[in-house]
Amino acid sequence: MTSTVLHIDSSARTENSVTRSLSAEITGRLAPETVIRRDLATPLPLLDEAWVGANFTPADQRSDEQKALLAQSDALITELKQADTIVIGTPIYNFSVPSTLKAWIDLVARVGVTFNYTETGPVGLLEGKRAIIAVASGGTQAGSDIDFATTYLRHVLGFIGITDVELVAADQLSMDEEGSMQRAKSAIEALAA
C-alpha cells in the first residue's frame, strides 16, 4: 500500500478532463493513506531574475525578501519529499506539457535541493519514489518522435532522482477515443497498488 501520493493535475480543463479523470482513478487505485493535492489550474509564479538571484544565494545569506521569493518553491519541494508516489495528470498541448506544469518543474528542480552536480554529472536527490504519468492527447502518440511531453517528464523526473516512472496513455483520442480510453483503463487496472 502506498502511504502518501502527491496528485498533480495540469489540465486547463477543470471539468470533462480526460487526464483529471485518469489521475483520480490512479490515485484511488493506489489507496494511499494520505493524498497531497496540487492543482495547477491555479497557476504558479514564473521564474524571474529576483527568484534566480535568491535561489543562487547561499541559504544562510538570504534576505527575508529572498526567502519569501523561494517559499512557494520550498513548499512544492516539501510536497515532493513527503510523497512515496507522484501521480501527474497532463494533457499534451502542442506536443509538450502545459505551461503550468513547466512552471511547477522550474520551481522544484533546484540544485542542492532536488539534485546536485558532481564530477560525473548531475545526481537526483529524490530517489526511491515512484511516478505515474496519466497523459491524454488528441493526435500525438505517446512515446513517438513528436511527443515532447512524456519524454520530457521522464527525463526531468529522472534528473531529480525519480526513475521509477510508469505511463498511462489515452493518446490519439481524436483517432480512436474508445480504443484509447480502453487501453488507458487497462493500464490502470494493471498498476500495482
Q: What whole-number distance in Å separates Cα of residue 75 and Cα of residue 99?
A: 19
% of the chain surpassing 90 pLDDT: 97
- In our burial notation (b when 16+ CB lie closer than 10 A, e otherwise), range 118-155 reads eeeeeebbbeebbbbbbbbbeebebeeeebebbebbbe
- Return binding residues: 11
Q: What is the CATH number of domain 4-190?
A: 3.40.50.360
Predicted local confidence at residue 1, as pLDDT: 58
Question: For the chain, which residues make up each domain, given as ranges?
Answer: 4-190
- Return binding residues for FMN: 11
Cα of 179 vs its chain's centroid, Å: 25
pTM for the complete prediction? 0.96
**pLDDT digit string (tens) for 60-85?**
999 999 999 999 999 999 999 999 99
pLDDT band of 192, cuts 50, 70, 90: confident
